[in-house]
Every structure is written in structure tokens, then in C-alpha cells.
Chains A and B, each alone.
Chain A
Amino acid sequence: MNAQSLLIETDIERYLELHRNKSLLRFITCGSVDDGKSTLIGRLLYESKALLDDQLGALDADSKRFGTQGDALDFALLVDGLSAEREQGITIDVAYRFFATERRKFIVADTPGHEQYTRNMITGASTADVAVILVDARKGVLTQTRRHSYLASLVGIRRVVLAVNKLDCVDYSREVFDAIERDYRAFAARLDIAEIVAIPLSALRGDNILEASAQTPWYSGPSLLQHLEQVHIDSANDSGPLRLPVQWVNRPNLDFRGFSGRILGGRVRPGDAVRVLPSGRQSTVARIVTLDGDLAEAGNGQSVTLTLSDEIDISRGDVICAAADPAGLADQFEVHLVWMDEQPLLPGRSYLVKLGASLVGASIGAPKYLVDVNTLEHLAAKTLQLNETGVCTLTLDCAVAFDAYAQNRDMGSFIVIDRLTNQTVGAGMLHFALRRSQNIHWQAVEVDKSARRRQNGHAPCVLWLTGLSGSGKSTIANIVERQLHALGARTYLLDGDNVRHGLSKDLGFTAADRVENIRRIGEVARLMVDAGLIVITAFISPFRSERDLARHMVEDGEFVEIFVDTPLSVVEQRDPKGLYKKARKGELKNFTGIDSPYEVPERAELHIDTMQSDPETAASAIVEYLVERGVVKLPS
């Protein structure tokens, strides 16, 4: 029986008091396949008595059935929780484990080492205080060791344990251990890591896990658990200025208006002067309200509800800051981005970004450079693929409160969400705000859109025709323009081929270039709508998100999406320009409908089935729609 169980048995009250005051350390384990990560975690759980008889019984049975250790316990099976993992003998997702010693409670993020699952490592590292990086003593520092170390330092982990595992396989050789430590320190000198502690281990045999091993008399440092119990937990935000992003406005009745959120930096007391961003309004804290009564003070990490002494308008996403040292406010940043989706980053596409409690529209520029996570080299790149990381410009639809990631991890981190799939496709860290956008102010003009509208006698809008090549978009667009012109409307037709000869002649047909092409057209259309015109566009525009991007550039109701719907088999047979034939032969790459997808509109204002109506009828239907909507009037 160890000291802990003895205390539990003899003085449970004392034990509970000790446990109540334990600190919490979160760490991440990472390494390549077969470095023995799962074995190490299983061993930690076993040694810290976090495993109970029924789990050990199940482990014993599983070890015999799936195990790789003969009749001995295979600790890896404890943590490889999903059936798919047991079958393939790999770990496919980040898992969280819990154990406690006499000094600390631990949360371990177990992250896989496979290349395709690097995003999981970033996920686990984002909340970790320490990284335990495993190296197989027989293999030394590998590409993946470098990758994991780089990613750990990228997300701000400053303390690393280099766990040189499987030392039993090299006869507990000091020379092997020293050489690996030397190699690693040489590499890690290029990273922003404050502390590296190298420990010789055998997770399988339990050497230097709990106590110093007799097998390594030449090693005088701490065992892994001893080190994890002592390592300093950085909490820089405790002493920083107050940051409280408002999650929820608390209004139980007309007499109470509180702002609920978690303190992500500094501390707060009633009477403190605060500044609310983005509005910049100032007030003072009246009360810190909790179910257990008002608090005299609250600090970093606590979830509280504040009331202020002035009635100022505050909503979800706003940040309550120390008045003397408020967060920054900006809408354009240099960021370090990690891409996490199968679909690569499309520079210029409209994404959503979640930062604190704010969710805002955003676009990301082409990477300034990509970082080769193996060599740390900066490489030129047009996009970021799954698991790639690089430095980009992030532009938001509105200004948000922030701190640089290096100052405050919670105020300087964000995730990128795809508008269509709603997947989390990227994660990033804010380096600094780019002030250039703030130097260009909008020029206020006296003759505005409504003035032009009165003179023109009709409202401006964009008629956005989308459909496969050869579906009849241009033909219909021409007739619509002719009919509108006859009604006295001021019109302009932007045609796909014509634009490609001028405005977009530097662009190709890759997905990224298509996005940029549509962005330019959308911008031109927006200017023309501002000028009071009815703009007719005829582009394949195969991606929903780009059509939505163009939609969001003009005001609500000014964008009319028209789906010119002709089956692929029909357009391919028509093939007026011979393009489908070329694409089928492979002479044209990225051709919509053949080797590039067409995403059918889900909320088009008009759907034209060209199998049911000829171009004249289709055009008339469009003009009728505009008359019904009051955009244009028929001559009386």
C-alpha cells in the first residue's frame, strides 16, 4: 500500500483537504507511430493507481486477444479506445486521460503521430502546459519529432520533456541517450522553447516513470512523474490586464442587466474602471454577481457575471477590458494559420472566424510563406493544404478586440469555420494588427445610390446567372439586357469570356483562381450597382461560397441568383465551343462538370429549367420577376 492509500484509509478528511487544493497540470504526449505513447500513458495510469480491477481485468483479456506483448499487459490497449484503432493498431484521434498523484491532478491529451492527424496534435497542444515528446531510442530524432516540437512551440508550449523511450532495447546505453539529447537540443535551439528536460525511459518496463531506475545509474535527474509533479505551470494571464469577453447578457428582469463571461486575463474588483470594446465606452464595475453571493474580487480563469454602474449597450462578443490597458481593436491581422481540412485554403473565399465570443465573416489572403514543419524553412505557397501551416493576412468584416497570441493565448487565438460545411477548417494565432487598412477612410459622397435611383427611375441590382458551360447563360443574359433596355433601364452585361480577356486575364482555372475571378467580378458588380445599374452577369460560378461572397458584397435584396439549369448530358451534346470534348480528352483541366464540381444553388431566387422553356421565355420570366419585385416598372 502506498502513502496515498494509507492516508485514504486512515484519515479521509485530511486526504480530501489535500486533494481539494491540488493544482491541475495539462500536458500532451506526442511522438511517431510505435514510439510507445499509448504504452507510456497506460503505464502512467497504472503507476498512479488510476486503473481499477475491472479495467485491469478487461486489459488482461484484451492483451491476450489483441496484444503485442505476449502474456504481459499491453498498456496501449487501455488508451486505444475506438474499435477502429484496435483493429488497425493505431491511435486515430486525440483522447483525454485523467490521473492524480499526491501533488497534482493531471489531464493528458494523447495525440496520434500519423502525418494525416497533425491537426489533432494542435488540438491537444492548444490547452496544454507541457509537451512530452517521445523518441524511440533505437531511431533517434525523426522528422515527426521535429514536426511535433515545432507545432508545440507554435501554439506556445514553452516547457518540453524529451522522453527517450525504449531504452531497454539499447541496453540502457548512456551514449545513445546523450546523443539523442544533443541532437534534439541542437534542433530545438531554433524554436521558442524555454525549458527542455530529457529523461531516459522504458515505458514498457516502467523505468524512470515513477522512481529512478536501477537500470540507469548514470542518470541523476527526476523520473517522469516527479518532473510532471514539479514543473512550473505558466499562468502569464493572471497578472495581465483584465479581459472578459461577454458570452451572454444576463437579463432576468428589467432591473438587472449583467454580463456573463469567463475572465481570460487579469482580475476585477467592484469600482474598477473598465472600457468595453469595440464601442470604447467606459464605465466602472458595480458588482461581481454569483449564486454564492457577490464577490470582492475575481481573477483569471473564473466564470463570473458583472454589472456596471452605467447603462451602456453591450452584447455577446464584446470584451470588457481594464480601462487603463485595453485590448487592441482591428480588422486586419498578420496571423499564423494551421489548415485542418481536406479542402485546401481558398484565399479570398469568405469564411467565418470565431475569436473569443465573436463570430465574424472573414477572408484570408494567400500565404506570405508556408513553414516546412520538418526543416522550418519558409517556402512560397499559393494556398495551405491539410496539415500545412503558414503566415497569412486575415481580414475580418468588422473590427474585434484582441491581444497578440504571445501576450494572451485566449485573446489571440481563433478558429476558421467553413460557411457551407460548418466544419472547423483551420486554427490560427494573431501576431499583430495590420494598420494599413485603417489609413484608407471611406470617402463620403453627396450623390448617393438613392439619388441615382430616383434619376434612373429604377432600382439597381445584380442578376447573377449561374450554370454549366453551354447551359445558355449568355444567350439568356443578352435577351434580358435587350428587354430591360427597351424598358428604359440602365444595364450592363458582364460576360464570363469577355472578363477573362481583360479584368481577369492573369488568372487560370484552378479553384483558387476561380475564387479570385469571382471576387473581382463581384467587386465590379458592386461598384456598378452603386452607380445605379442593373448588372447582368453570366459566369459558370460553380462554387456556392463564391456566389455567396458576391451576394454579400451588395445590400440585401440587390442580388438575384438565377440558376440556369441544363443537365450535363445535354450541354455536353450541344458543346457549342467544343470544350467538353477537349475536357473529356484531358486537354482542359479543372473543367466544371467533368473534373471540377458544380455546386447546385440551394437558395436561388429563380430557377430556369432550359428543358422546359426557350431563352426568350426564360428572359421574360426574369424581367417579370423584376417587375413583381418593383425593381423596374412596365410603361404605363
Chain B
Amino acid sequence: MPALTHLQRLEAESIDILREAVAEAERPVMLYSIGKDSAVMLHLARKAFFPSRPPFPLLHVDTTWKFRAMYAMRERMAHDAGMELLVHRNPEAVRLGINPFTHGSALHTDVWKTQGLKQALDQHGFDVAFGGARRDEEKSRAKERVFSFRSAHHRWDPKNQRPELWRLYNARRNPGESIRVFPLSNWTELDVWQYIRQEAITIVPLYFAAQRPVVERDGQLLMVDDERFVLREGEAAQLRSVRFRTLGCYPLTAAVESTADTLPAIIQEMLLARTTERQGRLIDQDSNGSMEKKKTEGYF
């Protein structure tokens, strides 16, 4: 038999992690953010438990500000996988009408996503939550364990992490603790794209270039996805050929000008690009250690 390629090794490791976490969990859940990493994670889950359906629901922590194409994809994927889809919207954020235009990106993200996630996990009593984060995304992620513990208050303590050796994951929880499990820890952005191509995984069309209405603001291209987009004086939406390297709330996710409308073209563009995918995310650029800070507070 030929030796396994690195994608086969990564796939086998992720499946191993998914099965191990499910075997040790009482109430597992998969956080589903509709992006390409979530798509890969969901695909791996279907492989891990086949012919059974993945024995957990999908949870989308919604902000009401995702791209419309993402909502369409969400319903379709859950239906195709035959899995239950839970959607949580922080009722407080709904009541206050929190949005990125009037409240700013930091507050918007904290209330909808960080607080919303904690509420959803507490409400359903989930003890294990799968997330699609990768260690190559960001410096503080590079130090996170595959099985990453959160206190009863969902805080991450980076200095007090359990050592993880060989393929042995310690999933024993103290009362109130929960575990975030990251099956894609050792994948890189290139691995994810190659795997999507190899496995023909369906992803949101926004990753492919198309003519879309955008405005240029502070050097970034923002898509006017619906009528809630607040145009500043002198701004007008114009059609440009753009695509997205990462997906989130549409007012907080910058597009890149591109004509890449096939997977090889996207991968080619990514490899030749000189910026990381997170650069399109406006929330990461606040200050040094900002992701670490958000994570200790409970952001996924």
C-alpha cells in the first residue's frame, strides 16, 4: 500500500478526534459557522460516523448579519446531512438591535457571538463543542490544545492547559467545565482548500468571484448585501468582480477584487496572495493579543 498523503493523514486524525470526543461526551454539539472550515468539519463528521448520522446537532450562533447566501447554505447543509440545526440569537442583542454600524465591531461581536455562544451552550447543557479553528490562523491559536477546556464561565486559561501527548486526549471534565474540540487543529488554509477540491465539498458561492455590489470604505471593499447597509455620504454601491476569503457578518467582512471563479483559481490566488485570510476580518486588527484576549473571554 502506498504511504498516506498528508491530506489522508490529516483526515484520519480529524476523524479520530471527532470519534474520541463523541465517545467521551455526554452532550456534544458542532458549531457550524457556514464557512469553508465548517463545511470541511461537517464533511469529516459525516465520514467519521458513517453509516450512522453524526450523533450531535449543529449549532449556528447567529448575528442576523450574515450574508444572505450563508443563510441559504445553512439550511441546505443541515438538510443534506440529516442533522438537527439549532440557531441561537442572543435575545438581548435582538432586543437592543445590536448592529455593527451603530455599535461598532467590538461590541457587535461580543454581544452576538461571544455572549450568544455562552448562552446557547449553557441553555442546552452542551459539554463538548466542536469548532473549526486551525492552529495556523493566528498566534494564540498555535498554542491551543485539540481538547481545550473552558471554565464554567467559558474562560480559557492558556497557562493552565493539559499536556496532550501521542493520540491520547484527556476528556475528563470537572463540574461546570466544557470542552472546545478542534478537529482541524493541524490543517492549514491550503489543506482546507485542497480537501474541498478533492472531496467536492459544497461551499458558499461567495468564495468564488462574481459581480457583486460593493462600496469602498477605509481601503476595504464591503458588500451591500441588503437594505440595512448604511451608506455614508458620497458612497454608492458599484458592481465589481469580487470574492471573499473568509465569511462572517457582511458589514465586517471585506471582499477582495478577484476573477477567481474556480477552486484551482482560488487556490492559485491564495498561494500568490501576500496577505493572510484573517486580514479580511475587521475584528482581529484591534490590538496586539486581541484574539487571545477575546478567547480568554469565551470567543470561539
Contacts and interface: CB of A to CB of B under 8 A. Distances in A.
B49 A127 contact: no
B50 A290 contact: yes
A415 B289 contact: no
Contact of A23 (B3, B11, B167, B288): B3
B50 A415 contact: no
B12 A301 contact: yes
Interface string A91-108: 011111110100001010
Interface of A: 5, 8-9, 12-13, 15-16, 19-24, 52-55, 62, 78-79, 81-84, 86, 92-98, 100, 105, 107, 119-120, 122-123, 126-127, 235, 238, 247-248, 250-252, 256, 258, 260-262, 264, 267, 289-292, 297, 299, 301-303, 305, 316, 340, 352, 354-355, 357, 409-410, 413-415, 417, 421-424, 427
Nearest to A62: B288
Contacts of B16: 247, 262, 303
Contacts of A98: 135-136, 186, 188
Highest count of chain A CB atoms <10 Å: which of B53, B142, B159, B274: B142
A19 B52 CA distance: 32
Interface stretch (B17-25, B71-79, B99-107, B108-116): B17-25
Highest count of chain A CB atoms <10 Å: which of B47, B162, B190: B162
Contacts of B6: 22-24, 105
B47 A16 contact: no
B163 A20 contact: no
B7 A12 contact: no
Given A20-B5, A120-B163, A299-B1, A96 B190 contact: no
Contacts of A340: 163
Contacts of A79: 139, 142
A267 B138 CA distance: 37
B158 A252 contact: no
A171 B170 CA distance: 48
B275 interface: yes
Given A13-B264, A81-B143, A415-B170, A252 B190 contact: no
Nearest to B47: A291
Given A16-B264, A23-B3, A260-B49, A414 B168 contact: yes
A250 B194 CA distance: 29
Contact of B9 (A21, A24, A291, A352): A24
Interface string B186-212: 101010001001100000000000000
A308 to B, nearest CB: 16
A81 B293 CA distance: 12
B164 interface: yes
Contacts of A316: 23
A301 B186 contact: no
B198 A20 contact: yes
A422 B174 contact: yes
A248 B6 CA distance: 24
B143 A82 contact: yes
Interface in B22-61: 22-23, 46-53
The 9 A-B pairs with the shortest beta carbon distances in the complex, nearest first, are: A81-B139, A53-B274, A303-B15, A422-B172, A252-B52, A83-B289, A24-B6, A126-B165, A12-B268
A52 B272 contact: no
B279 interface: yes
Nearest to A419: B172
B190 A19 contact: yes
A403 to B, nearest CB: 13
9 contacts: A5-B272, A19-B194, A20-B194, A23-B6, A55-B276, A83-B293, A260-B19, A290-B50, A417-B172
Interface residues of B, number: 68
Given A93-B159, A98-B136, A100-B190, A413 B166 contact: yes
A8 B272 contact: yes
Interface in B124-173: 135-136, 138-140, 142-143, 158-159, 161-168, 170, 172-173
Given A247-B19, A410-B166, A21 B135 contact: no
Contacts of B161: 93
B48 A303 contact: yes
A261 B12 CA distance: 10
Interface of B: 1, 3-9, 11-13, 15-16, 19-20, 22-23, 46-53, 135-136, 138-140, 142-143, 158-159, 161-168, 170, 172-174, 185-186, 188, 190, 194, 197-198, 264-265, 267-268, 271-276, 279, 288-289, 292-293
A12 B265 contact: yes
Contacts of A95: 135, 142-143
Highest count of chain A CB atoms <10 Å: which of B7, B159, B167, B188: B167
Contact of A123 (B158, B164, B194): B164
A401 to B, nearest CB: 15
Given A52-B274, A302-B12, A354-B168, 17 more contacts: A8-B268, A12-B268, A81-B138, A81-B142, A95-B143, A96-B143, A122-B165, A123-B163, A123-B165, A247-B20, A248-B49, A290-B47, A299-B4, A301-B12, A302-B8, A303-B12, A413-B168
Contacts of A423: 162, 170
B292 A83 contact: yes
A55 B6 CA distance: 25
A261 B8 CA distance: 15
Contacts of A107: 186
A52 B245 CA distance: 15
B162 A424 contact: yes
A273 B121 CA distance: 45
Contact of B12 (A83, A86, A262): A262
A52 B276 contact: yes
Contact of A8 (B23, B159, B168, B271): B271
Given A252-B53, A260-B49, A16 B194 contact: yes
Contact of B143 (A94, A100, A105, A413): A94
Contact of A22 (B5, B19, B268, B292): B5
A563 to B, nearest CB: 19
B289 A82 contact: yes
Contacts of A424: 162-165, 170
Contacts of A264: 167
Contacts of A21: 5
A301 B158 CA distance: 30
Contacts of A261: 19
A52 B49 contact: no
A248 B275 contact: no
A93 B139 CA distance: 12
A444 to B, nearest CB: 36
Contacts of B19: 247-248, 260-261, 303
